[in-house]
C-alpha cells in the first residue's frame, strides 16, 4: 500500500461516512483506494469494504460465548483481531498501490484507548500510517464544544504518536462564519480562551488558558480541515495532507494530473 489512514473520533461524528466519501473521491481522481471496516458492531456501513471484520468476528457470538455485554464484547473482539490479523493483512498484501482507509469502532474507548490499538496500527501498516480525527462541526461552534474535542484529539495523539489530520466534519451544517470563527480560535489561544470565558463563567480560567497555550506551543493541531462527507467537500485537502506525508507532496496536483 502507499499508505493507510486510520479514521477515529467520537461516536456519530461521521467516521464511516467520511471513509466512504474519501474512498469515492480517491477513485474518482484515479487513485486506488480501499476501505477496511474494523468495527464489528456496525449495523450498516455506507461503503463497499475490501475487508469487513464482521465476516470473521461476530459480536453476538462473543457476547453469548463469554457472557458479555456489547462493550465487553467489543474489547474481546479487538483482542481476537490482534491475535489473528491474517484475514486483514492477507488482503492488504494484494493492495500494492492503494491508499487504505480503516474505519474504527464508534465508541473511541473501545478502539483508541485499548492497549492493542497502537500495536494493530503498527502491525498492519507500520510507518506508512496516519490518523484522521473526525470531529463534529456542529459541536465545535461553541468554545467549550471545540475545546472538548481538541482534548479528545490530544488523547488520541498521546496513544498513537502518529501524524494526524484534524477533520471538522459536517461542515455543511454550519455557516462559513462559524468555520472562520473556529479557524481563528485555532490560530490564537487568547481568542479562544476569551470566547470560552464569555460562554462559561471564568471558572478554572487559569487551567484552560494554560492548556490552550500549551496546545498552541506544542503545535498540537497545525490546522483544521473542514469537510462535508455528505457533500464531498474538503476531501482534496485531506488528500493533500496524506500526499505530503506519504509521498513527500510529489503528488498533490490531483486534479491536474495528465497520466
Ligand X SMILES: Nc1nc2c(ncn2[C@@H]2O[C@H](COP(=O)(O)OP(=O)(O)OP(=O)(O)O)[C@@H](O)[C@H]2O)c(=O)[nH]1
| Number of residues in contact with ligand X under rule CB under 6 A | 17
Q: Which stretch binds ligand X (CB under 6 A): 6-14, 25-33, 87-95, 183-191?
A: 6-14
Instruction: Return the number of the residue (171 or 209) whose C-beta is nearest ligand X.
Output: 171
Please state, as a whole number, how many other Cβ atoms lie within 10 Å of the Cβ of residue 247. Answer: 12
- Of 237, 221, 220, residue with least CA distance to 229: 237
Rounded to an integer, what distance in angstroms lies between the CA atom of residue 38 and that of residue 36? 6
Q: Is 129 in the site for Mg ion (CB under 5 A)?
A: no
Partner from Mg ion, ligand X, none contacting 90, C-beta within 5 to 8 A by type: none
Residue with cell 487551567: 207
Distance from the Cα of residue 30 to its chain's centroid: 23
| Number of residues in contact with Mg ion under rule CB under 5 A | 2
Q: Is 172 in the site for ligand X (CB under 6 A)?
A: yes
Rounded to an integer, what distance in angstroms lies between the CA atom of residue 83 and that of residue 69? 21
Instruction: Return the number of the residue (13 or 140) whose C-beta is nearest ligand X.
Output: 13
Partner from Mg ion, ligand X, none contacting 74, C-beta within 5 to 8 A by type: none
Q: Is 193 in the site for Mg ion (CB under 5 A)?
A: no
Residue from 4, 6, 8, 17 touching ligand X (CB under 6 A): that is: 17
Partner from Mg ion, ligand X, none contacting 27, C-beta within 5 to 8 A by type: none
How many angstroms separate the Cα of 219 from the Cα of each of 53, 87, 194, 222?
A: 35, 38, 20, 6
Instruction: Give the SS3 label for residue 41.
Output: coil
Q: Is 193 in the site for ligand X (CB under 6 A)?
A: no
**Residue 132 DSSP class:** E
Q: How far is the CB of 161 from ligand X (least distance, A)?
A: 23
Q: Is 24 in the site for ligand X (CB under 6 A)?
A: no
Quote helix, strand, coil % in the chain, to nearest 5. Answer: 55, 15, 30
Residue from 4, 8, 13, 16 touching Mg ion (CB under 5 A): that is: 16
Which residues are CB-neighbours of 55 under 8 A, at least 6 positions away? 87
Residues near Mg ion, by CB under 5 A: 15-16
Residues near ligand X, by CB under 6 A: 11-17, 39, 42, 106, 169-170, 172-173, 228-230
Amino acid at each position: 500500500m502507499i499508505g493507510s489512514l486510520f479514521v477515529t473520533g467520537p461516536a456519530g461524528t461521521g467516521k464511516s461516512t467520511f471513509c466512504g466519501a474519501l474512498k469515492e473521491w480517491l477513485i474518482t481522481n484515479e487513485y486506488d483506494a480501499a476501505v477496511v471496516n474494523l468495527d464489528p458492531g456496525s449495523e450498516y456501513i455506507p461503503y463497499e469494504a475490501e475487508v469487513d471484520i464482521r465476516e470473521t468476528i461476530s459480536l453476538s457470538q462473543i457476547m453469548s460465548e463469554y457472557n458479555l455485554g456489547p462493550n465487553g464484547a467489543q474489547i474481546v473482539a479487538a483482542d481476537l483481531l490482534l491475535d489473528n490479523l491474517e484475514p486483514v493483512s492477507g488482503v492488504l498484501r494484494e493492495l500494492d498501490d492503494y491508499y487504505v482507509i480503516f474505519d474504527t469502532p464508534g465508541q473511541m474507548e473501545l478502539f483508541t484507548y485499548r492497549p492493542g490499538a497502537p500495536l494493530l496500527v503498527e502491525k498492519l501498516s507500520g510507518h506508512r500510517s496516519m490518523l484522521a480525527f473526525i470531529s463534529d462541526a456542529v459541536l465545535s461552534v461553541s468554545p467549550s464544544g471545540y475545546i472538548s474535542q481538541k482534548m479528545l484529539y490530544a488523547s488520541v495523539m498521546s496513544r498513537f504518536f502518529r501524524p494526524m489530520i484534524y477533520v471538522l466534519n459536517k461542515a455543511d451544517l454550519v455557516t462559513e462564519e462559524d468555520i472562520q470563527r473556529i479557524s481563528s480560535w485555532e490560530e490564537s489561544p487568547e481568542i479562544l480562551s476569551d470566547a470560552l470565558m464569555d460562554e462559561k463563567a471564568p471558572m478554572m480560567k487559569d487551567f484552560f488558558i494554560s492548556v490552550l497555550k500549551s496546545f498552541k506551543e506544542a503545535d498540537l493541531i497545525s490546522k483544521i480541515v473542514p469537510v462535508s462527507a455528505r457533500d464531498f467537500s474538503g476531501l482534496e485537502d485531506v488528500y493533500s495532507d496524506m500526499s505530503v506525508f506519504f509521498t513527500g507532496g510529489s503528488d498533490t496536483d490531483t486534479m491536474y494530473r495528465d497520466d
